Amino acid sequence: MEFAELIKTPRVDGVVLHRPFLPLVEGTLCLTGHHLILSSRQDNTEELWLLHADIDFIEKRFVGSSGTIIVKCKDLRIIQLDIPGMEECLNIASSIEALSTLDSVSLMYPFFYRPMFEVIEDGWNLFLPEESFKDLESMTDEWRLSEVNRDFSICPSYPPLVVVPKDTDDDTLLKVASFRHGGRFPVLSYYHKKNGMVMMRAGQPLIGPNGRRCKEDEKLINATLRAGKRGYIIDTRATAVAQQAKARGGGFEQEANYPQWRRIHKTIERYSVLQDSLIKLVEACNDQSHSMDRWLSKLEASNWLSHIKEILTTACLAAQCIDREGATVLVHGTEGTDSTLQVTSLAQILLDPSCRTIRGFQALVEREWLQAGHPFQHRCAQSAYSSGKLHGEAPIFLLFLDCTWQILRQFPCSFEFNENFLVLLFEHAYATQFGTFLGNSAAERSATLKLPQKTVSLWSWVNRPQEMEGFVNPLYEPNSLVIWPSVAPQSLQLWEGVFLRWNRSSKCLDEAYEEMVHIIEYNKELQKKVNSLRRQLAQLETEGSPLHTP
Amino acid sequence: MEHIITPKVEHVKLLDRYNAKNPAIGTLYLTATHLIYVETYNDTRKEAWILHHHISSVEKLPLSTSGCPLIIRCKNFRLLHLLLPREKECQNVYQSLLRLSQPVKYEELFAFLYNPKQNEQQRREGWAFIDTATDFNRMGLPNDYWEISDLNKDYEVMCSTYPSTLVVPKIASQATVMGSAKFRSRGRLPALSYFHRETKAAICRCSQPLSGFSARCVEDEQMLQAISQANPNCPFMYVVDTRPKLNAMANRAAGKGYENEGNYSNIRFNFQGIENIHVMRNSLQKLLEVCALKSPSMSDYLTGLENSGWLRHIKAVMDAGVFLAKAVADEQASVLVHCSDGWDRTAQVCSVACILLDPFYRTMKGLMMLLEKEWISMGHKFTQRCGFLDGDPKEVSPVFTQFVECVWNLTEQFPCAFEFNERFLIDIHDNIYACQFGNFIGNCQKEREELKIQETTFSLWPFLLKQQEWYRNPLYKRSVKSGPLRPNTLPLHFKFWCGMYNRFDKGMHPKQSVLDLLLALTQKKTESERKMTDLQRVSGILRFEYFHVTFKQNYGLTNKLRYINFKDWTQAVQGSDGFNVVIDQCM
């Protein structure tokens, strides 16, 4: 077992754990291959079980012969461990550093985790493309399921099965793939049942400095237009950025070659900028010494809420084009694996009520993020406490969850899930015992890592009734309408449930939530009792007939 | 009515800053009390009623091709951008509104015209509903340490802006009290505002001492000592000057200032750094400019929010209130609070502390009592601060608004601790400016008596209580009584109050109201419970009759049944074996 080599000191006694808003715990610290465990060995105090993978960064401090390790986690929590003995402390620190940055995915905890529960419904088989295509087929016959990418050779970041216009054959797709970044030819992302309009997504067209064109590409996307109708291309990059991309072989659809399309540029930042924004925001949230002015200026300087506003605005624009203008939409940025997915998935939450259910949201994450090739492994390798050189880490998915939370806050009765569900997804995207978010693409997940065979799906666990209970929004009333959130700055708020989660006591808010649940549950019960009394009464009235018979 | 030149203007456009392309078109009416805008759009007749007293400014912009623009800003933070078709009418409306929104005499205020069809008895009962004397009784006063003094009964000897009865330390002699009053700005001597029963610590309030650079006053020193000694649990007391130190020092040159720690025994003195009314007025002005920005970027908004300084001021008031509450509850120390005159910052800080310390003030009636006690009776100058009459604009300041916002922040942090919801706070705020009820008219009790407020106007409180279901917080838990509220006062816990300052921008707010939903559920709950009792009763009767008949048919015995009345029967059938029990009894 190679983990043993990394663990020089597996156990230290007399370690003191400090956590904000919780009492100190003194106990024994143990290191295992995947966990840091602190136990007071008393029955009534809880133990700390921390996945090494959840550790973002550690700091060491020494005073005399004892040391302190400050552990900064990817879920933004910060804990402090006081460890007696200089050598023990150094050993523990170096083990944690090594174990939390293992290179090989196959050494990650999900490959070792054995569920303590019975898997009733295997999450790996829940959201198969074939199944969702059946739903599409029942609504329209204009699309087909293509197997052109079955061995991932045309587009390594696409799944084996994709939905394309019916009249576009696989040869055309091959040509179009060579004209789109990463081989990401336009595929169907969403079909709007209400008016038959669609949203597609792709990588940027590779027009390059000489304005290369691809007739097949034009033909493919034109095939999705209704006669005489224009479509919208939403480019998630600013015009200048898209212009610059031409020099590097990329670019955007030229008006001359796509006369039936109107192109709109929005300004969703690239991943490195977003990562920087997250780091600044979390730093501002964690600094307790700020004056009001300093806090507001740091919040502003982090630009986090600006990104939220821009992403939501773009999603609203896409939804508006489809629902209000009755137009077809194609969304892309550069690669089509980050900002593109933020926009297409959020637009679906606005347009499609089923995405606001628990299962529907899981399906959305599966379809628009996992299958669509968002590189989770790269993006979530480090979180807000990352330092030094980054390798494509960015809170793209967290921004999506934050935007969803903003919509949920504005439509508190239209979602079947509550905030806890979103927080759960954030946690598991960064560190987890489940295999769902491992790897960067469908190809890696199924072919290379064989995750469905070797790991447990997060959905297998979440969908158990006893777990589900905690994620259900008691206020939920299915709302079949398209929802339009406000994107005014006054309407957007800092997501306290994530960013202030460890900096405040949640006692009073939890109490309020429980009270709300209680009111709703009590009412339901009361209603049930009234109904059953009514039934009894009706029965009595018929049984009581001897009263009226002589 | 003499100020209304043009009572009606047609084809007036109402511009919407989010939908500039499609302004509403409607008719503008001017009445004696209101400006009314009625939209003429298809069949929907949306109406906006704006009380003249709510108008804070009217601005006429230069004539444009589309019409004559008129911008009306309201004290309840509504902003109306109208476009009138003709210059002449616009000028007339402008002039009328200028005059109507700035009454020159008290008699012109709405409260003196308003007649809610109540008789004299109801009016008197309304005024008697909140009586500050009962609140002092509730605190357990008078007691061994504190007495209720009527030295100020004619408002002349000591302080014209204080109420006629004051709570002062029992051991302070009349000479001490009177002497202390002479040493305090405008005679506003130290008087008790809250007595904390558990710790016996008190919060007292006053104005700044007339200490200048070196003046002393033996009586004032004795007075502070008497306050300190009225608390057997703590050897010292705090003296809190809520002003920034620099302001307090500047006052010394004018013969005022702050307590010299060396002259008073066992006091701990500190400054709290809340800015003066002028800074607050400008801050709100800047905040409102941010709120009115047309499609601002996130950065514009956050930078504007920061530059306004508004949340910094709210935090300063909250911090000072928390300091008081901690001193009283944790250190068992009494506190004497003042600012300059002791009617603005002092009122804010004392009332925030009261809410933190005492769950009563977190109920609807309690908040009314607190406003009566700390604001109305202790002489917060509502007429000047809210600009009820045409007067010095430099006297206007959002002191009360800041207090309401502090309470709102507390309701956000403690969602189960308050009996009322946000609407209660907003409606009180608006009602103060509306001048429809007499409670807030005038600057002090003496003035209110001269105006015969209680004889000629109505009290707001019973009117609010009539709608208490609308103001209820469904999450309120009365049982929460464990010590004071301890709010987190880190900057990031203070939120911008969109529900107040952008209240009329409906699009900005959550589209579904959890509050309304929960209130509807609680109402449904009461209905269901009633229905259930009804059903249970009916089913009881039915069962009884059914039993009677079947029993007669099966057994032919009726004589024993005479002894079972319906009440016994219903009790007997509470158990599941109801039938058998009764039958056994009869056999």
Q: What pLDDT, on a 0 to 100 scale, did the predictor assign at position B419?
A: 97
Does the pLDDT of residue A349 top 50, yes or no? yes
Residues of A in contact with B302 (CB under 8 A): 296-297, 299-300, 305, 489
Interface check for A539 against chain B (CB to CB < 8 A): the answer is no
Q: What pLDDT, on a 0 to 100 scale, did the predictor assign at position B537?
A: 83
Task: Report residue A497 as tokens.
Answer: 């449930």
Name the residue among A309, A409, A543 with its Cβ closest to that of B298. Answer: A309
Percent share of chain B, pLDDT over 70: 91
Average pLDDT over residues A100-111: 91
Interface check for A532 against chain B (CB to CB < 8 A): the answer is no
Q: How confident is the model at residue B581 (pLDDT cuts 50, 70, 90)?
A: very low
Asked if B549's CB is within 8 angstroms of A546's CB, the reply is: yes
Asked if B532's CB is within 8 angstroms of A508's CB, the reply is: no
Q: What pLDDT, on a 0 to 100 scale, did the predictor assign at position B562?
A: 47
H helix or E strand, kind and range, residue B237: strand B237-241
Average pLDDT over residues B339-366: 97
Residues 6+ apart with CB under 8 A from B43: none
Q: Which residues of B make up each annotated binding site for substrate?
A: 276-277, 339-345
Name the residue among B475, B490, B528 with its Cβ closest to that of A516. Answer: B475
Does the pLDDT of residue A545 top 60, yes or no? no
Mutation pick from B294, B297, B298, B495 vs chain A, by most beta carbons of A within 10 Å, is B298
Interface check for A353 against chain B (CB to CB < 8 A): the answer is no
pLDDT in tens, B224-248: 999 999 999 999 999 999 999 999 9
pLDDT in tens, A471-508: 999 999 999 999 999 999 999 999 999 999 998 888 99
Question: What is the CA angle B364-B365-B369, rounded to 5?
Answer: 120
- The answer to whether the CB of B118 falls within 8 A of the CB of B462 is no
What residue in B sits closest to A523 (Cα-Cα)? Answer: B525
DSSP characters over B21-84: TS-EEEEEEE-SSEEEEEE-BTTB--EEEEEGGGEEEEEEPPPBTTBEEEEEEETTS-EEEEEE
Does the pLDDT of residue B23 top 70, yes or no? yes
Does the pLDDT of residue B557 top 80, yes or no? no
> Å from A352 to nearest chain B CA?
17
Q: What pLDDT, on a 0 to 100 scale, did the predictor assign at position A542?
A: 75
A 366-425 near B (Cβ less than 8 A)? 409-414
Residues of B in contact with A281 (CB under 8 A): none
Closest CA to A488 of A402, A396, A406: A406
Closest CA to B17 of A490, A305, A306: A490
* C-alpha atoms less than 13 angstroms from C-alpha of A247 in its C-beta half-sphere: 4
Residues of A in contact with B525 (CB under 8 A): 519, 522-523, 526
Average pLDDT over residues B390-411: 97
- The answer to whether the CB of A401 falls within 8 A of the CB of A425 is yes
What residue in A sits closest to B295 (Cα-Cα)? Answer: A488
Closest CA to A374 of A408, A415, A412, A345: A345
What residue in B sits closest to A489 (Cα-Cα)? Answer: B298
The Cβ of residue B477 has, within 10 Å, a number of other Cβ atoms equal to 14
Tell me: ipTM over 0.90. yes
- The answer to whether the CB of A349 falls within 8 A of the CB of A400 is no
* Options B90, B159, B206, B339, the catalytic residue: B339
pLDDT in tens, A57-95: 999 998 888 899 999 999 999 999 999 999 999 999 999
Average pLDDT over residues B296-317: 98
Domain boundaries, chain A: 3-102, 143-505, 509-548
Asked if A490's CB is within 8 angstroms of B498's CB, the reply is: yes
Least confident of A120-129, B346-355, B546-555: B546-555
Name the residue among A308, A494, A537 with its Cβ closest to that of B538. Answer: A537
CA distance A400 to A344: 10
Q: What pLDDT, on a 0 to 100 scale, did the predictor assign at position A549?
A: 42
Residues of B in contact with A475 (CB under 8 A): 512, 514, 517
For B139, phi and psi rounded to 5 degrees?
-75, -10
pTM of the model: 0.93
Least confident of A33-42, A201-210, B570-579: B570-579
Residues of A in contact with B296 (CB under 8 A): 489
CA distance B244 to B241: 8
- The answer to whether the CB of B431 falls within 8 A of the CB of B423 is no
Q: What pLDDT, on a 0 to 100 scale, did the predictor assign at position B539?
A: 76
Name the residue among B413, B511, B522 with its Cβ closest to that of A410. Answer: B511
Asked if A489's CB is within 8 angstroms of B301's CB, the reply is: yes
Q: How confident is the model at residue A543 (pLDDT cuts 50, 70, 90)?
A: low
In chain B the first and final C-alpha atoms are separated, in Å, by 85
Q: What pLDDT, on a 0 to 100 scale, did the predictor assign at position A16?
A: 94
Mutation pick from A285, A296, A521, A531 vs chain B, by most beta carbons of B within 10 Å, is A296
Average pLDDT over residues A314-339: 97
CA distance B519 to A479: 20
Q: What amino acid occupies position A389?
A: K
Burial (CB count <10 Å: 0-12, 13-18, 19+), residue A449: buried
Asked if B507's CB is within 8 angstroms of A486's CB, the reply is: yes
Q: How confident is the model at residue A533 (pLDDT cuts 50, 70, 90)?
A: confident
Does the pLDDT of residue A361 top 90, yes or no? yes
Task: Report residue B181 as tokens.
Answer: 């009053």
pLDDT in tens, B413-448: 999 999 999 999 999 999 999 999 999 999 999 999
Q: What amino acid occupies position B492?
A: L
Percent share of chain A, pLDDT over 70: 98
Mutation pick from A277, A293, A295, A298 vs chain B, by most beta carbons of B within 10 Å, is A295
- The answer to whether the CB of A430 falls within 8 A of the CB of A75 is yes
Residues of A in contact with B410 (CB under 8 A): none
Name the residue among A293, A490, A534 with its Cβ closest to that of B535. Answer: A534
Using only C-alpha atoms, chain A has a radius of gyration, in whole angstroms, of 26
Cβ-based contacts under 8 A for chains A and B: 166
Closest CA to B84 of B43, B35, B129, B44: B35
Q: What pLDDT, on a 0 to 100 scale, did the predictor assign at position A550?
A: 38
Q: What pLDDT, on a 0 to 100 scale, did the predictor assign at position A2?
A: 73
Name beta bridge partners: A264: A234
Query: Is residue B354 annotated as part of the catalytic site, yes or no?
Result: no
Average pLDDT over residues B482-498: 93
What residue in B sits closest to A285 (Cα-Cα)? Answer: B492
Peptide bond before residue A23 is cis, with ω within 30 degrees of 0 = no
> Å from B573 to nearest chain A CA?
14
Mean pLDDT of chain B, nearest integer: 91
pLDDT in tens, A439-451: 999 999 999 999 9
Mutation pick from B492, B498, B504, B525 vs chain A, by most beta carbons of A within 10 Å, is B492
Q: What pLDDT, on a 0 to 100 scale, did the predictor assign at position B555?
A: 58
> Å from A305 to nearest chain B CA?
7
CATH class of domain segment(s) A3-102: mainly beta
Residues of B in contact with A295 (CB under 8 A): 490-492
Residues of A in contact with B309 (CB under 8 A): 293
pLDDT in tens, B239-292: 999 999 999 999 999 999 999 999 999 999 999 999 999 999 999 999 999 999
> Å from B316 to nearest chain A CA?
10
Name the residue among B492, B507, B545 with its Cβ closest to that of A295. Answer: B492
Average pLDDT over residues B311-339: 98
Interface check for A4 against chain B (CB to CB < 8 A): the answer is no
Closest CA to B462 of B138, B131, B122, B133: B122
Burial (CB count <10 Å: 0-12, 13-18, 19+), residue A399: buried
CA distance A235 to A249: 16
